[in-house]
A = this chain, B = another copy of it.
């Protein structure tokens, strides 16, 4: 990922926030038929490893040996930025459009996990994470389903862990624009139903040494 220094994201809390906001990761690797990519929900464990699961029918676990290298891509909010949003555009017109976004790229070594207790744990942890968000008052739990059904379902998946070897993160959020221009972009996005991106840009603006 091309990262100019002013867009390099080095704040561990912000990197974690990008990852939490983009749970459906893209996992890429060099497969037998060329580049392969799969979309799967991942979550970071307390040890820094990522965990998730794939269908048994997904060839990924047959195409990769344990320890093989994959690239995990987690992308947060994104949106087009028009030069019209910058107040200074009216003065000198020296602006071009761009695209703002946040992304985390993690190079990692994959390991597949076939034992039932580990698979049960991976599904339970992922479920708990997401049920808390969508059904905080009455979350679905694996124990809601009959044991024979759960055993059948676990038999149809493979869990995986991803051990990071390198993390690159980028927050391209108008840090290279004067504060009034960055604020103009924030305001326009907020009016265009792009509130999540606007909030990320506003936070970067507030964090400037000048106070924005």
Binding site for B on A (CB under 8 A): 1-2, 4, 23-24, 26, 28-30, 34-41, 54-55, 57-60, 69-71, 73, 75, 78, 80, 82-84, 89, 93-97, 99, 101, 103, 105, 107, 123, 126-127, 130-131, 133-135, 138, 140, 142, 144-146, 149-150, 153, 188, 192
Do B144 and A2 touch across chains, with their CB atoms under 8 A apart? no
Q: What number of copies of this chain does the assembly contain?
A: 2
Do B84 and A138 touch across chains, with their CB atoms under 8 A apart? yes
Main secondary structure of the interface of A (DSSP, over half): mixed
Q: Across the interface, which residues of B come within 8 angstroms of A1, CB to CB? A: 36-39
**CB contact under 8 A between A130 and B93, given known A28-B37, A35-B30:** no
**CB contact under 8 A between A131 and B82, given known A71-B34, A107-B35:** yes
**CB contact under 8 A between A24 and B99, given known A34-B107, A144-B93:** yes
**CB contact under 8 A between A38 and B2, given known A24-B101, A130-B97:** yes
What CA separation (Å) do A129 and B155 show in the bound complex? 47
Q: Across the interface, which residues of B come within 8 angstroms of A80, CB to CB? A: 23, 41, 130, 133-134
Do A39 and B135 touch across chains, with their CB atoms under 8 A apart? no
Minimum distance in angstroms from A81 CB to a CB of chain B: 9
